[in-house]
RNA sequence: GUGGUUGUAGCUCAGUUGGUUAGAGCAUUGGUUUGUGGUACCAAGGGUCGCGGGUUCGAAUCCCGUCUUCCACCCCA
């Protein structure tokens, strides 16, 4: 064999079976998106670099795949700059396009660009691949799909409520039990930072707080100190680390901490609104949980923040996330358009369903009938029958070669084809078809009409 | 981006302190069986030991580089 070909790190090929399973998830999510009134859009796989750069923080910028300019791209770089070997500065000269990193920022660009054609509030969904130059691990790829639903042009908290319901509906439809939706509010985080006198260190503060369940209270405090948050401020956080009880009692404890922060109080109000509505409406399968340490996607979220955790018995990072962003379109020059949205991580949901064995049997489309090929004249006779079957929407095909019976039967087994049809000289004479059940081994001689009636 | 881990036949894996021609199971192909598969038996094909250097009389085995896999950071779906 020649040199084996390969695919880049963090990318995958999908077998027919895998594609069928992935489509099952896509279709399930899509069905719910449409039930909730979202409409599909698509955007290009790559954007102008300045559309993406600077929107995801420093870390994000590093993970964006840049596309080299065409032609003699080094020609544009002046010698002085080239000599500095400053990668960031040179990159902007030799790369003007980049692969999309998520679906939210391209969507914001879309909204601004099409603002005069869009009827607001605009509810769109989008299921497309995104690319990140991350170091791969299990459930972490360089090319993966996101399924996003967002509403722009409405500040109503009913949207937040509906997104919780939408999550619930999708996981119910996927029969995935034990999913937890963690919810928090950026305003609460800002409020706490304000109370402890660390408003200017909001990101450092929340990044450290986010690690609480992973590294523990002591380490979190150390990290905060290290980032320049005062000991006095950290002491004020004490009630935060011991927050306990259900949604309502946690909220009550939070109120104690936040009573001097207007923004923090607003955040609590919003959370209470969502929780009250959800309690009234009820959830089918997911569990809604307040988590004040949740601090994802802070780069643009301004209100509610969601994160979706897989069932506890599966080791997998978050399988979805989302939140409210009041000014995402602002970075593209369109002010005062609030948006809120959620995302499903298709590839991770796939891994979870696979691990829990939750894919329905027969997600793969298969043919019902394989006609055994006995030779030229028989093949033509079979194709006439197959033509009729197909006109009746019955999936069927002829084995292309007059190979040995054993080989053809084996082929049917390997492909899990439930029935084979044998047509030789005898059958042709009497215009009949020997239909063999590949599971039971039983066979019977029937007419074409019988076959159609059986499989239609 | 930092530190570690992995790679032997299509697949899952053996391969001793460096030592002749690198093995097994499954899968594939052919046969026992020229219109009846899954079982059984017989036989065959298939490997630059991830790739590239180095050490050595001699490397799958030791060293370096590189790619890939998975893991912990980082970050995230």
Residue A29's CATH number: 3.30.930.10
Q: How far is the CA of A195 from the C1' of B61 (A)?
A: 63
Q: How many Cβ atoms are within 10 Å of A119's Cβ, its own excluded? A: 6
Q: Which nucleotide is nearest to A320 (CA to C1')?
A: B77
Q: Which nucleotide is nearest to A59 (CA to C1')?
A: B75
Instruction: Work out the average pLDDT over A27-47.
Output: 97
With tokens 């004040």, the residue in question is A292
Chain B nucleotides covered by protein, CB below 7 Å: 1-3, 10, 28-31, 33-38, 46-48, 50, 67-77
3-state secondary structure of A368: coil
List pLDDT tens digits, range A287-297: 999 998 888 76
List pLDDT tens digits, range A164-223: 999 999 999 999 999 999 999 999 999 998 888 888 888 888 888 888 877 888 888 888
Burial tier of A453 (Cβ tally within 10 Å: 0-12, 13-18, 19+)? exposed
Q: How many structural domains is chain A composed of?
A: 2
Same domain, A181 and A330: yes
pTM for the structure as a whole = 0.89
Q: Nearest protein residue to B69's C1' (by CA)?
A: A137
Instruction: Work out the average pLDDT over A359-363.
Output: 78
Residue A319 belongs to some domain of the structure: yes
> Confidence class of residue A2 from pLDDT cuts 50, 70 and 90?
very low
Q: How far is the CA of A91 from the C1' of B63 (A)?
A: 37
Same domain, A248 and A380: no
Domain boundary among A330, A355, A380: A355
* C-alpha to C-alpha distance for A413 and A404, rounded to whole angstroms: 15
Same domain, A174 and A302: yes
Q: How far is the CA of A127 from the C1' of B77 (A)?
A: 13
Instruction: Work out the average pLDDT over A77-83.
Output: 79
Helix (H) or strand (E) holding A396, with range, is: strand A396-398
**DSSP labels, A45-66:** SEEEHHHHTTSSHHHHHHHSPE
pLDDT value at position A297? 62
CATH number of the CATH domain containing A419? 3.40.50.800
Residue A399 belongs to some domain of the structure: yes
- Average pLDDT score, chain A: 90
Of A154-158, A223-227, A386-390, the range with the lowest mean pLDDT is: A223-227
Q: How far is the CA of A3 from the C1' of B59 (A)?
A: 22
* C-alpha to C-alpha distance for A163 and A323, rounded to whole angstroms: 9
Same domain, A325 and A397: no
* Domain region containing A164: 16-64+101-355
Q: Which nucleotide is nearest to A347 (CA to C1')?
A: B77
Q: Which nucleotide is nearest to A429 (CA to C1')?
A: B35
pLDDT value at position A419? 93
Residue A417 belongs to some domain of the structure: yes
Give whole-number Cα distances, A435 to A74, A393, A416, A426, in Å: 68, 18, 16, 14
Q: How far is the CA of A5 from the C1' of B22 (A)?
A: 24
Q: Which nucleotide is nearest to A318 (CA to C1')?
A: B77
Q: How far is the CA of A6 from the C1' of B16 (A)?
A: 34
Does position A45 have pLDDT exceeding 90, yes or no?
A: yes
Q: List the one residue out of A447, A428, A434, A432 whose CA is nearest residue A380.
A: A428
Q: Which of A147-161, A212-226, A320-334 has the highest mean pLDDT?
A: A147-161
Secondary-structure breakdown of chain A: helix, strand, coil percentages, each rounded to the nearest 5? 45, 20, 35
Q: How far is the CA of A7 from the C1' of B61 (A)?
A: 29
Q: Which nucleotide is nearest to A3 (CA to C1')?
A: B48
Same domain, A232 and A289: yes
């Amino acid at each position: 064999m020649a040199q084996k070909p390969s695919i880049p790190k963090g990318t995958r090929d999908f077998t027919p079976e895998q594609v069928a399973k992935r489509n099952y998830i896509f279709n399930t999510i899509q069905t719910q998106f449409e039930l909730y009134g979202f409409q599909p859009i698509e955007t290009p796989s790559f954007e102008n670099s300045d559309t993406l750069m600077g929107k995801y923080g420093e870390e994000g910028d590093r993970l964006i795949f840049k596309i080299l300019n065409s032609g003699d791209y080094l020609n544009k770089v002046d010698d002085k700059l080239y000599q500095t070997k400053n990668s960031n500065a040179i990159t902007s000269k030799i790369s003007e396009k980049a692969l999309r990193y998520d679906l939210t920022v391209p969507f914001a660009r879309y909204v601004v660009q099409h603002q005069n054609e869009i009827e607001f509030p605009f509810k769109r969904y989008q299921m497309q691949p995104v690319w990140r130059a991350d170091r791969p691990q299990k459930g972490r790829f360089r090319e993966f799909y996101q399924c996003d639903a967002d509403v722009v042009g409405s500040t109503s908290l009913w949207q937040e409520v509906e997104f919780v319901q939408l999550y619930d509906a999708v996981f119910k439809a996927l029969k995935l039990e034990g999913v937890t939706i963690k919810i928090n509010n950026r305003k609460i985080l800002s409020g706490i930072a304000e109370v402890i006198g660390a408003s200017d260190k909001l990101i450092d503060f929340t990044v450290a707080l986010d690690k609480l369940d992973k590294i523990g209270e002591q380490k979190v405090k150390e990290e905060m100190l290290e980032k320049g948050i005062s000991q006095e401020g950290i002491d004020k956080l004490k009630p935060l680390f011991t927050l306990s009880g259900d949604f309502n009692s946690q909220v009550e404890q939070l109120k104690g901490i936040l009573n001097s922060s207007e923004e923090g109080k607003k955040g609590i109000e919003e959370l209470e609104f969502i929780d009250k509505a959800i309690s009234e409406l009820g959830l089918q399968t997911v569990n809604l949980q307040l988590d004040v340490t949740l601090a994802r996607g802070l780069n643009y979220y301004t209100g509610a923040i969601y994160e979706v955790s897989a069932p506890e018995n599966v080791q997998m990072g978050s399988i979805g996330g989302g939140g409210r962003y009041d000014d995402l379109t602002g970075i593209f020059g369109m002010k005062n358009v609030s948006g809120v949205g959620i995302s499903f991580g298709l590839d991770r949901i796939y891994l979870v369903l696979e691990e829990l064995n939750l894919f329905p049997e027969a997600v793969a489309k298969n043919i019902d009938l394989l006609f055994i090929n006995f030779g030229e004249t028989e093949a033509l006779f079979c194709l006439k029958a197959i033509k009729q079957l197909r006109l009746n929407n019955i999936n069927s095909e002829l084995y292309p070669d007059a190979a040995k019976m054993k080989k053809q039967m084996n082929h049917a087994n390997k492909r899990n084809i439930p029935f084979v049809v044998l047509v030789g000289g005898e059958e042709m004479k009497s215009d009949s078809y020997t239909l063999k059940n590949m599971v039971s081994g039983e066979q019977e001689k029937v007419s074409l009409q019988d076959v159609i009636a059986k499989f239609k």
